[in-house]
């Protein structure tokens, strides 16, 4: 994956969007307030509806990432701050181009899901950003509910259980959820294989 990203950067690096997560978070804030003024009309115009795309509304292939998942201002501000921190950290770790590739690949996967399910969402793609963060910084301490200090790896476990719960309870979302994980697996493929080999070695040598 590293070699492929290096080749892509040489060819397409000039198109990199710096501070991508800031752009995405700012867009969600703008759409949230636009929804307040238009009674949700802004989100209705931007979310990824495949039938609408097929009727010529191709902008939805890009704008769906700006549709906020939060229904209240407080939850919006918390999620925007959280994802800005996580996304910014990943961009600093990987570099802007690689982070752009991760997010763009996630968008493409959700567009593919929309072909079959009729809709796409950036919600699960954004959730995988924390999985990526926890794999890079498992011991990083965060404040759960802004009170309880918890290491990133344990919050990732809770998020994974939540992911599994929604996978079981909402069959219509399963394809979107599975494909949202594709960038995570590709970017951490070597780490996943190494972990599997260590686990297999320990099992065989018991």
List the chain residues with pLDDT less than 70.
143-146, 195-196, 198-206
pLDDT for 16: 93
What's 94-112 look like in SS3? HCHHHHHHHHHHHHHHHHH
The β-bridge relationship of strands 141-144 and 148-151 is antiparallel
CA-nearest of 146, 24, 133, 153 to 84 is 24
pLDDT for 78: 85
Tell me the pTM. 0.89
CA-nearest of 20, 199, 149, 178 to 92 is 20
pLDDT for 154: 86
pLDDT for 84: 92
pLDDT for 8: 86
CATH fold of the domain at 2-204: Rhomboid-like fold (1.20.1540)
pLDDT for 105: 95
pLDDT for 132: 93
pLDDT for 195: 62
For the record, the structure tokens of 95 come out as 């570099």
Convert the pLDDT of each residue in 33-87 to its tens digit.
999 999 889 999 999 999 999 999 999 999 999 999 888 888 898 889 889 999 9
Tell me if 65 sits within 8 A of 27, measured CB to CB. Answer: yes
pLDDT for 143: 67
Q: Where are the domains of the chain?
A: 2-204
pLDDT for 201: 60
pLDDT for 145: 59
Quote the distance between the C-alpha of residue 12 and its chain's center.
22
């Amino acid at each position: 994956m590293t070699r492929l990203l290096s080749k892509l950067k040489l060819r397409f690096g000039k198109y990199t969007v710096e501070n991508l997560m800031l752009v995405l978070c700012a867009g969600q804030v703008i759409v949230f307030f636009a929804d307040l003024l238009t009674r949700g009309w802004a989100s209705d115009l931007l979310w990824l509806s495949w039938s609408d795309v097929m009727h010529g509304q191709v902008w939805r292939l890009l704008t769906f990432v700006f549709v906020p998942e939060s229904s209240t201002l407080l939850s919006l501000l918390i999620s925007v701050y959280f994802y800005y921190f996580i996304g910014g950290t990943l961009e600093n770790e990987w570099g802007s181009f690689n982070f752009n590739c991760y997010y763009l690949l996630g968008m493409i996967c959700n567009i593919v899901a929309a072909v079959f399910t009729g809709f796409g969402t950036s919600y699960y793609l954004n959730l995988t950003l924390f999985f990526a963060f926890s794999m890079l910084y498992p011991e990083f301490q965060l404040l759960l509910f802004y009170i309880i200090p918890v290491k990133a790896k344990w919050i990732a476990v809770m998020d994974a259980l939540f992911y599994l719960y929604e996978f079981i309870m909402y069959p219509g979302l399963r394809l979107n959820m599975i494909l949202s994980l594709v960038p995570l697996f590709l970017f951490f493929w070597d780490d996943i294989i190494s972990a599997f080999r260590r686990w297999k070695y320990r099992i065989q040598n018991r």
